[in-house]
Amino acid sequence: MTPTRTRVLPLLVAVLLALLALPQTGGAPAARADSPAAGADSAVAAGTFTNPIVTQNGADPTIIRYAGYYYHLGTTWASHWEMRRSPTLGGLKTATPTTVYRETVASRCCNFWAPELHRLNGSNGLRWYLTYSAGVSTDIDHQHVHVLESAGNNPLGPYTYKGQVDPYGDNRWMIDSSYLSLPDGRLYLLYSFWEGGTQNLYAVRMSNPWTPTGGAVRIATPTYGWEKVGSGVNEGPTILQHDGRTFLTFSASHCDTPDYKLGLMELTGGDPLAAGAWKKFANPVFQRNDANGVYGPGHNFFFPSPDGKEVWMAYHANSKATDGCSGTRTTRAQRVNWNADGTPNFGTPVSTSIALAEPSGTPAAARR
């Protein structure tokens, strides 16, 4: 062997090894969220993510999509609200929280729960309205519903306090507020309240996002066995409107059990305050999945994909059956599908080891 060949052969070997080490561009694409690809390793691929997407302040989540970004809010258990922002859903996991509001008035602090963010018409035109539960201490028996208004169109605020929603004028306990906005401009607030030994759902007409008009009406109460595990509970109402139909999901059974779950109702009448206007479905639509290690999934919120072609659901859940109503609950997300009869199909809660594709229409430049 000549000295020249001795130098060339090792060089060729090094080049071949380098080529083999390059990432492969072929192969199967990342799975859509309704057809997950197994294996946590695939979560690092561009355009995919794994649940949970938020671990700190991950209970009772709201996720919105606005002007190219996802925004996340969750229960803080404190006297302030923190918001995360990311161009991708998976990016919320590492996004730095921004404090968007801090309460300084003792009579309406503390123990912030269950935020929801809605863009609604108010006296200043379209604004973001943040409705939530808060108490005067860490005692859960003093929770009430409050509303904040953004100064402009930025979901990050700043926010100002608009008022407490008190339909009966007696400062009664209320939690888990959400809005129902109908196409004709009618606005309602939905919430949960204890009455007759159970925790029920109520609706009240609103003259603006913070002012009720008239009395509230009970629209649902726990009647099925799956709504009464731990205690009879209907809470966490939120609206899903699709193809001209108005659905309402709610959380059922006590949150301290792994059997916390989602039920479904539909507005079948013209007046949300009329008796019999709501139809409750007989079976739960989203519940624990022991095989996937997901317990107590509930308190959800809906948001669109960037291209508007998909509906997604944010929800919280635990990874152990022994976890309950605490900071162990984390924010997860997955796609909503549709049954042949036009009703939503939420499937089963996916495992945290499953890689899900980002919602459709996510810009390539935004993908990790």
The conformation of residue 92, written as its DSSP 8-state character, comes to G
Which residue is catalytic, options 103, 235, 266, 358? 235
Query: Cα angle at 348 between 346 and 352, to 5 degrees?
Result: 120
| CA-wise closest residue to 362 among 300, 303, 301 | 303
Give me the numbers of helices (H) and strands (E) for the chain, helices first please.
Answer: 1, 23
- Rounded Cα distance, 11 and 22, in Å: 17
- The pair of structure tokens assigned to 6 is 């001795």
256 classed as catalytic:
no
Non-local CB neighbours of 237 within 8 Å, separated by 6+ positions = 176, 178, 190, 191, 192, 201, 248, 249, 250
Distance between CA atoms of residues 273 and 172, nearest Å = 20
Distance, in Å, from the CA atom of 61 to the CA atom of 56, rounded to the nearest integer, reads: 11
60 a catalytic residue: yes
Question: Can you tell me the distance from the alpha carbon of 265 to that of 284, in angstroms, rounded to the nearest whole number?
Answer: 10
Q: Please pick, among 60, 149, 176, 259, the residue that the annotation labels catalytic.
A: 60
Active site amino acids: 60, 235
